Structure 1
Amino acid sequence: MKYQTIDSTKSEQIAMLAVCLTNEITERTGTKHFSVDVPLAIDLCKNYVSNGIYQVMAAFDADQIVGFASVCQSYSLYAEGQFGIIQEFYVMPEYRSKGIGQELLQSVVKLAKQQGWKRLELCTPPLPQYKGTVEFYKSNGFEVTGGHKMKHVIA
């Protein structure tokens, strides 16, 4: 398995995995939390990666991307400056429980250190359906900070 940041030429593969992620969340929870427009997701990924807005760490099995983490930079007073947010994190089901997610997270932590970020944050999918996901992140050094992810759609 190889772990490396991707360039924009891999945007279509990343967008398709992001669709798998959102579909899995919808199926598991029974609620449509997301509406992903695939061509738009591909274009956004190309744009974000090309412009340095997003960094995407991918897990490769030969030439196939089997998992990814997309990360962007944010700023806050409570974090005392710059920090990273893992926006999406996904490993294909057939590659789970093989250490790939753990290695992928370690690669993201290494990237965060290179960026000079003081912390990484992420939001997990809804509980209780994703209790195992929360445990995975906790076992890899993340801690629950409370609250719920909330959104307000701006039309």
Structure 2
Amino acid sequence: MALYAEGAFGTIPELYVRPEYRTNGLGLRLVSQAKFFGASRGWTRLEVTTPPLPQFDRTLAFYEREGFAISGGSKLKVSL
């Protein structure tokens, strides 16, 4: 639950589909099931993360086609 999301929400921190399965709709089915799961539990949103690198442009385009919008923010990390 988060104030910025106005309630409960879900995240997909990483979704990887093997290259040989990428053109048969498997990613679409997985994301659709995640949306259905979240909606059935009253989530207000579903978030995904994609690195802001050129090699992930196709991934970003996929999520945008599925209704996801860039929401801003940055992921930060520190090595220990």
- Matched positions, count: 80
Distance, in Å, in 2 between the alignment partners of 1:137 and 1:97 is 15
Overall identity of the aligned pairs, in %: 47
Residue aligned with 1:91, SS? coil
Residue aligned with 1:130, SS? helix
Report the TM-score when normalising by structure 2.
0.88
- Match of 1:109, as an amino acid? K
Residue aligned with 2:16, SS? strand
**Aligned counterpart for 2:37 among listed residues 92, 111, 119:** 111
- Structure 2's unaligned 5+ residue stretches are none
Match of 1:149 in 2: 75
The reply on whether 1:83 has 2:17 as its aligned counterpart is no
Match of 1:137 in 2: 63
Match of 2:22 in 1: 96
Residue aligned with 2:24, SS? coil
- Structure 1's unaligned 5+ residue stretches are 1-74
Distance, in Å, in 1 between the alignment partners of 2:20 and 2:31 is 18
Residue aligned with 1:102, SS? helix
Q: Measured at CA, do residues 151 and 129 of structure 1 come closer, stay the same or move farther in structure 2, by a change above 3 Å?
A: same
Is the radius of gyration larger for structure 1 or structure 2? 1
Large movers: runs of 4+ above 3 Å: none
Distance, in Å, in 2 between the alignment partners of 1:129 and 1:93 is 14
Report the TM-score when normalising by structure 1.
0.48
Distance, in Å, in 2 between the alignment partners of 1:148 and 1:78 is 15
Matches within 5 A, 1:5-154: 75-153=1-79
Which has a greater percent of strand?
1
Higher relative contact order, chain-length normalized (CA < 8 Å, sep 6+): 2
Q: CA deviation at 1:147?
A: 3.1
